[in-house]
């Protein structure tokens, strides 16, 4: 039986939530932007009025103000956006139990079994739109199709631009509606891939969809190497409206890794300052790993250079002798990796990641050192932080000028709560 899938996208989500919270800004151009005094002074979301002035996401706040001097700038409130997103998820649950988050403002729904109760797909989409608007003040756009890929492209290409905010893209419509469009309109194709396709003589989605799969694999292999076969198949299936993946509510539940990275408030080149941040990152990923009940076999560290025009950086990993979530051990591994690969140029971003996770309820005892004492100590500090706040107990190094722990404690995802 053919499925009926929806991709529901909330228009200018952060900005829409802020407009709903501030009715006085209803007719004003509003953007949500990070702190200009740090590196995060970029546009995270812009309302349709702001976009009409040419303001776009990811540009700097200064560029946006140059286009629209009367712009209303609001700092992000990430906890509020998370709460509204969860409320919208609850709304979806009134119509189907098959809901798969795609991002904070986009979710897939399989409403195949709901049609008998709520009516045709377009009617269900309109009901969901109305309920979201009434509950949150956010306008939602809905793409409908027989699979996730077509529903996503129905949203991005058509539903976001028509008055109703609803568009259905069925498999028989792919050649007529999708194939004439530039290949860059296809989901998953970025600027670099557009250049590859154009050099191969592929300019439209139809050029890609009509090409025999074996020929596409051969051409991509010649341009991108032997690991391109899977990419070629994915692009070819997308161009032909094929996507066998189901809507799976628990698809993001399985933890693959625990990582944390941060953009620094200034360029760091002093090893002593870098060590402070690496230690804080190690402590953060270990704390989260312990909270989730995991240890890691693999520790990774990465950095990004300070030159925006010619970015440099690395991401390297190593397997540790025994799985761990002990801060001291992870910091030692991360520090070793960092200094083995750092080019000694200033850095603007640092990150530490734990992967190859295993449950922490069983582990190998070691002959040297007292790992169980370390575990008890860290469980105790975790309990104190859980009860009194993340800054209730800090390492002395986190009081230094280079430290970021106190600043980070009032943020979610790098933005203010």
Active site residues: 106
* Alpha-carbon span 317 to 344, nearest angstrom: 19
* Alpha-carbon span 417 to 414, nearest angstrom: 9
Q: In the structure encoding, which two tokens stand for residue 210, read together?
A: 């009509």
Q: How many CB atoms lie within 10 A of CB 272?
A: 10
Is residue 105 annotated as involved in ligand binding?
Answer: yes
The beta-strand segments (E) located in 149-289 are 166-168, 257-268
The alpha-carbon radius of gyration of the chain (Å, integer) is 24
Residue 277 near residue 404 (C-beta atoms within 8 A): yes
Q: Strands 415-416 and 411-412, how do they pair?
A: antiparallel
Residue 383 near residue 324 (C-beta atoms within 8 A): no
* Alpha-carbon span 416 to 79, nearest angstrom: 8
* Alpha-carbon span 91 to 132, nearest angstrom: 7
Residue 335 near residue 278 (C-beta atoms within 8 A): yes
Q: At 367, is the secondary structure helix, strand, or coil?
A: coil
Q: Strands 166-168 and 140-145, how do they pair?
A: parallel
- Compute CA distances 60 → 36, 96, 212, whole Å: 9, 40, 43
Q: At 317, is the secondary structure helix, strand, or coil?
A: strand
* Alpha-carbon span 274 to 271, nearest angstrom: 5
Q: Strands 72-74 and 30-33, how do they pair?
A: parallel
CB-based contacts of 303: which residues, under 8 Å, 6+ apart?
313, 314, 338, 342, 347, 349, 350, 351
DSSP 312: -
* Alpha-carbon span 410 to 417, nearest angstrom: 6
How long is the chain?
417
Residue numbering of the annotated binding site? 9, 105
> Known binding site for Mg(2+): residues?
9, 105
């Amino acid at each position: 039986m053919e499925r009926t899938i929806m991709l529901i996208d909330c228009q200018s989500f952060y900005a829409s939530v802020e407009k709903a919270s501030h009715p006085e800004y209803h007719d004003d151009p509003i953007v949500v932007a990070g702190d200009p005094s740090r590196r995060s002074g970029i546009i995270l979301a812009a309302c349709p009025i702001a976009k009409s002035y040419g303001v776009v996401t990811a540009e700097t706040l200064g560029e946006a103000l140059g286009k629209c001097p009367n712009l209303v700038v609001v700092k992000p409130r990430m906890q509020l956006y998370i709460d509204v997103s969860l409320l919208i998820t609850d709304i979806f649950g009134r119509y189907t139990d098959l809901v798969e988050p795609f991002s904070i403002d986009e979710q897939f729904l399989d409403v195949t079994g709901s049609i008998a109760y709520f009516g045709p797909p377009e009617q269900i989409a309109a009901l969901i739109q109305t309920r979201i608007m009434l509950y949150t003040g956010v306008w939602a756009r809905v793409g409908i199709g027989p699979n996730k890929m077509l529903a996503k492209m129905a949203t991005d290409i058509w539903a976001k631009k028509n008055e109703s905010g609803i568009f259905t893209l069925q498999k028989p419509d792919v050649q007529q509606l999708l194939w004439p469009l530039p290949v860059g309109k296809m989901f998953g194709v970025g600027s670099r891939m557009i250049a590859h396709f154009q050099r191969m003589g592929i300019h439209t989605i139809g050029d890609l969809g009509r090409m025999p799969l074996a020929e596409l694999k051969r051409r991509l292999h010649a341009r991108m190497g032997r690991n391109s076969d899977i990419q070629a198949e994915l692009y070819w299936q997308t161009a032909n409206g094929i996507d066998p993946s189901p809507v799976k509510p628990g698809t993001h539940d399985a933890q693959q890794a625990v990582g944390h990275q941060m953009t620094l408030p200034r360029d760091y080149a002093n090893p002593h300052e870098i060590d402070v941040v690496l230690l804080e990152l190690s402590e953060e990923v270990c704390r989260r790993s312990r909270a989730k009940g995991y240890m890691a076999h693999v520790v990774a560290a990465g950095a990004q250079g300070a030159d925006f025009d010619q970015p440099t950086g690395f991401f390297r990993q190593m397997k540790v002798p025994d799985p761990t979530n002990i801060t001291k051990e992870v910091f030692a591994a991360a520090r070793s990796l960092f200094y083995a690969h750092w080019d000694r140029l200033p850095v603007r971003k640092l990150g530490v990641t734990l992967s190859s996770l295993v449950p922490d309820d069983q582990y190998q005892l070691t002959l040297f050192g007292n790992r169980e004492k370390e575990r008890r100590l860290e469980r105790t500090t975790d309990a104190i932080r859980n009860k009194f706040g993340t800054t209730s107990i800090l390492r002395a190094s986190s009081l230094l000028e280079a430290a970021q722990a106190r600043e980070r404690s009032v943020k979610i995802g790098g933005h203010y709560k």
